[in-house]
């Protein structure tokens, strides 16, 4: 469902990706590991269509991503890809419920009532239903992360990209979040590509790939 071929990316004279190949099947959970500075976040941004490589191809659902113009690409991204980042980027002036609703409201502004219902269901499923009307600053780190996961799920994306999702969680909340990813995969057949330094998570994953010297080792 996602296939990257010979991705290359440099920042000035620093060549970060030197020909990365990756093929991810639907419902698979792939962990990307590698030393600090290896290029994991760079790769995740490219796979998430947020950045472009200097060379190489990316197809998602047989769509050739880098041949799409910006508007259709933005719509495709909003529909197909969910993002969970370590510093969750929740909007501080909005409640948890509003934060979760926003990606769906962008797609479908007329559907506000149904979206609020779905957002409430997701927050409840993630164990933070009773915090729905609080702003991010009034939530714990774990609750904020769960809210960010709910937001990533609101448009039922096929692919969820996560960059150090448990990086700022204590071990109990980290384990719960990891279990949740597997539960979602089992229930909804979602595909996860997760950059992580967490050993436990990378061992739980279906596949662990390592970025080293600009290429993928250990498929």
- How many beta carbons lie within 10 A of that of residue 199, not counting itself? 11
Smallest gap from residue 14 Cβ to ligand ATP (A): 6
Smallest gap from residue 38 Cβ to ligand ATP (A): 4
For residue 137, what are the contacts with CB-CB under 8 A and spacing of at least 6?
Answer: 92
Distance, in Å, from the CA atom of 129 to the CA atom of 146, rounded to the nearest integer, reads: 10
The interface with ligand ATP within residues 10-49 (CB under 6 A) comprises 11, 14, 16, 34, 36-42
Nearer to ligand ATP, 85 or 155 (CB): 85
Structure tokens given for 126: 């993630």
For residue 210, what are the contacts with CB-CB under 8 A and spacing of at least 6?
Answer: 32, 33, 34, 216, 217, 218
How far from chain centre, in Å, is Cα 208?
16
Smallest gap from residue 11 Cβ to ligand ATP (A): 3
Nearer to ligand ATP, 155 or 196 (CB): 196
Phi, psi (rounded to 5 degrees) for 202: -70, -25
Count of residues engaged in binding ligand ATP, rule: CB under 6 A: 11
Q: DSSP character for 137?
A: G
Smallest gap from residue 39 Cβ to ligand ATP (A): 4
Sheet with 2-11: strands ordered across: 14-24, 2-11, 55-60, 63-64
Distance, in Å, from the CA atom of 142 to the CA atom of 169, rounded to the nearest integer, reads: 6
Smallest gap from residue 46 Cβ to ligand ATP (A): 10
Contact yes or no for 53/46 (Cβ under 8 A): yes
Nearer to ligand ATP, 40 or 146 (CB): 40
Nearer to ligand ATP, 40 or 88 (CB): 40
Nearer to ligand ATP, 42 or 147 (CB): 42
Structure tokens given for 104: 């769906």
Per-residue contact track with ligand ATP, 129 to 158, x per CB under 6 A?
Answer: ------------------------------
Interaction between residue 218 and ligand ATP (CB under 6 A)? no
Nearer to ligand ATP, 15 or 116 (CB): 15
Residues at the interface with ligand ATP (CB under 6 A): 11, 14, 16, 34, 36-42
């Amino acid at each position: 469902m996602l296939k990257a071929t010979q991705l290359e990316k440099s920042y000035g004279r620093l060549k970060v990706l030197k020909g990365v190949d990756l093929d991810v099947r639907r419902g698979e959970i792939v962990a990307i590991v590698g030393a600090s500075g290896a290029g994991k976040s760079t790769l995740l941004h490219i796979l998430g269509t947020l950045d472009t490589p200097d060379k190489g191809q990316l197809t998602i659902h047989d769509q050739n991503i880098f041949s799409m113009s910006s508007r259709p690409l933005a719509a495709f991204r909003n529909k197909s890809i969910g993002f969970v980042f370590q510093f969750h980027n929740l909007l501080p002036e909005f409640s948890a419920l509003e934060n979760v609703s926003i990606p769906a409201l962008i797609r479908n502004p007329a559907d506000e009532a149904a979206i609020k219902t779905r957002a409430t269901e997701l927050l409840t499923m993630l164990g933070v239903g009773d915090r729905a009307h609080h702003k991010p600053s009034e939530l714990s780190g774990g609750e904020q992360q769960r809210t960010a996961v709910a937001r990533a799920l609101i448009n039922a994306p096929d692919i969820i990209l996560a960059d150090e999702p448990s990086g700022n969680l204590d071990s109990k909340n980290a384990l719960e979040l990891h279990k949740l990813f597997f539960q979602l995969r089992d229930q909804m057949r979602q595909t996860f590509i997760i950059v992580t330094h967490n050993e436990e998570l990378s061992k739980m994953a279906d596949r662990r790939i390592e970025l080293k010297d600009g290429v993928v080792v250990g498929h």
